[in-house]
Structure 1
């Protein structure tokens, strides 16, 4: 038994969204001729999405790379090293990867929704204002002059300054410094996660937007990177009240950057140019001729699922806990066929090759190793390792 075919409206929605998400551009492989260098292409992907989930550092790098065919993990790291993209908390208290030029105005537009709760959290942690001020001063002093620090190195700086940092304080203070725009996570010089740097030194050309101009930019860029969205999607994504989200959508629509579209009787908003293009997902020889992948190996936390409040168009509700076990907020890597989630995939590093195993859902079609092999190879090429398909099984 296979999943029922989506309605015509839902099929269009999936097609538009795959295009907007950068997942319908080309098969993983060599970069098209005449393209900018890898780091600049990674930056362009980040610009298209505006912000993508960054909780899982490994997954977020593949999320960027698979949307820029021909790039490598080194290109993603280079984009961070050159200050083209940063990792920080732009909204909702959730860490994202963001174009460096956009992080400041995004925080100014959304910080009023998350910062008021910080004082209460510090009370729970036993972190007083004097200690917070001292930790801030030490961090800024230690980073001034183009320096970068890992979280462990910053903790050592606090210890040398005689501050007795309790274990629960460190994450909160790093978040607070980044959420307030003092720091961002920039270069990854030691092969690990991005290191902390001063925002004012690291970000060379920050954009300045505020008020309704910022709201319009948020709305337009959110829809540009995700296809047709509802006002509640935008409100959830930004953490803004629905009334404010609607104001941003109205402002973007007045600038003709958004247009309404009905999908199965529900109003959505999308970039007009997207609606002028095709929505039908090509298959078979037509897909191959157009370079459109029928199958994808997406990372955990990908915007394909996390960019929306309602996911039933691409993921059958009964399979949700297979993607997020126990609804614990940890989204697993997914096997996607023609825009719909068909299962999960797991990687196991080995001496000669990384093994990739797929677990497909019941009713998920007849995907086999042959269909997945090119995408495993593309993942391996991005990582600089050999990757091979191991088992492809159907879970019960």
Structure 2
């Protein structure tokens, strides 16, 4: 472990791994897979594959998290990637919705389900769902999804089939039931419906190919691909992101290190001192070492709410001063706001105006200087992706 990384080194490597370092095809923005793709839908799917999973509970934000990493694509390309069965929206880990390449969802669930499904019986007891009712609801759902075929069903229509089957169900059951059938790999959100959001489909009929990984091989894959798409990380980062235990994360890391896919490095603090102990031990994809340290960082980015730039780690200090965390997650309620990023560091938040003319309001952190002219270009990219008016960029009042 001879290499040591400064906070700036970590930041640069993370931005490159996250696909946010540039638009030239060599650094972020487009991976080597993206460069060989000829259509927007495949470029979007390539981003999802490379990232392994992107936080996806906020549908509009999730689309931009893909689009910002594939410059020149549009939200229609995201929809086409879903409609063509390349990507799905489901619960691969941590009990949280993500966008995942279709071939990856099942093995990821098999590797992580033991952590999230263990608490389901207690939740159902609280909701008043017994095993017999659960079985009826699941069976009815699967029959309805099979009948719908590739057209899929929205949440309301699926729930209506429960009523039509004579099941006495409660409104607060719906989320749990949809989560349950998706978390168990029976369904996923696939094609885009008339309302503009993915519809539920039976995975048995929708996903045409799945990778076959289990046990230590799956843990190895998680560690390798997490490192490739997130940059330098600590054991606890991988454990938090996957929802696995630290012991399980260590198994994956050890296997990846043995295969040569991960290298150990040490962290230095801002004063240049080597950080001792577990807090100072990082793991990195060897391909990120070297030239990445001198690679330029993009001046400005407008990133989506819940972007992996922050949500990809438990330790985010290179990207975000901890004293500003409450400004990103007001009330610490778990709702991450969209962020303004200068050279990889979060310096404020932004919000679109809900007017026909569009426009962007930026709320800088105390002491931060915002280049509204530079953000105007990023705002135009966002607007072009969504096919709406860009409007102006102004400081929030």
| 1:313 Cα offset (Å) | 1.6
Cα drift, residue 27 of structure 1: 7.4
Once the two structures are TM-superposed, the CA of residue 278 in structure 1 deviates from its matched residue by 1.7
**What are the Cα deviations for residues 94-129 of structure 1, in whole angstroms up to 9, with x where unaligned?**
111111000000000010011111011100000011
Partner of 2:77: 75
- Could you tell me which runs of 5 or more consecutive residues in structure 2 were left unpaired when the two chains were aligned: 269-274
Question: How far apart are the structure 2 equivalents of 1:33 and 1:299?
Answer: 23
Q: Which of 79, 97, 100 is residue 99 of structure 2 equivalent to?
A: 97
Partner of 1:109: 111
**What displacement does 1:147 show?**
4.2
Distance 2:304 2:88 in 1: 19
Counterparts of 1:54 and 1:34, CA distance in 2: 26
Alignment of 1:180-329 (within 5 A): 180-264=184-268, 265=275, 266-282=280-296, 293-329=298-334
Which residue among 8, 11, 14 is the counterpart of 1:11? 8
Contact 2:85 2:102 in 1 (8 A): yes
Shift of 1:367: 2.0
Q: How does 1:107-186 map to 2 (within 5 A)?
A: 107-144=109-146, 145-186=149-190
Match of 1:287 in 2: none
Q: Deviations over 1:15-72 (max 9, x none)?
A: 00000000013179x9998642101001110111101101100000000001000100
Which 5+ residue runs of structure 1 have no aligned equivalent? 1-6, 283-291
Secondary structure of the corresponding residue to residue 168 of structure 1: helix
CA contact (8 A) 2:154 2:193 kept: no
- For 2:115 and 2:329, locate their aligned partners in 1 and report how far apart those are by CA, in whole Å: 26
Distance change >3 Å, CA 27–CA 297, structure 1 → 2:
farther
2:359 to 338, 351, 355: 355
Q: Are the structure 2 counterparts of residues 220 and 101 from structure 1 closer, same or farther at C-alpha, using a change threshold of 3 Å?
A: same
Q: Is the 8 A contact 1:369 1:389 kept in 2?
A: no
1:388 is aligned, of 373, 385, 391, to 391
Task: State the distance in 1 between where 2:334 and 2:165 align.
Answer: 37
**CA offset at residue 323 of structure 1?**
0.6
Report SS of the residue matched to 1:345.
Answer: strand
- 2:271 is matched with none
1:122-170: CA deviations, max 9, x gaps?
0000001111111111111111143410000001111111111101111
Does the Cα contact within 8 Å between 1:27 and 1:293 map onto a contact in 2? Answer: no
TM-superposed deviation, 1:389: 2.6
How big is the shift at 1:193? 2.0
Q: What is the alpha-carbon distance in structure 1 between the residues aligned to residue 36 and residue 144 of structure 2?
A: 42
Matches within 5 A, 1:42-81: 42-81=44-83
| CA distance, structure 1, for counterparts of residue 168 and residue 24 of structure 2 | 52
Shift of 1:349: 2.7
Which stretches of structure 1, 4 residues or more, deviate above 6 A after TM superposition? 30-34
Question: Residue 377 of structure 1 aligns with which residue?
Answer: 380
Alignment counterpart, residue 344 of structure 1, candidates 349, 353, 366: 349
Native 8 Å contact 2:305 2:338 kept in 1: yes
Root-mean-square deviation (Å) = 1.9
Asked if structure 1 preserves the Cα contact closer than 8 Å seen for 2:379 and 2:393, the reply is: no
Q: What residue is the counterpart of 2:272 in the other structure?
A: none
CA distance in 1, matches of 2:367, 2:195: 41
Mapped partners of 1:73, 1:132: distance in 2? 36
Distance 1:47 1:275 in 2: 22
Structure 2 contact 375–393 (Cα < 8 Å) conserved: no
CA–CA distance in 1 between the matches of 2:263 and 2:38?
A: 31
Residues in 1 aligned to 2:294 and 2:335: alpha-carbon distance in whole angstroms: 31
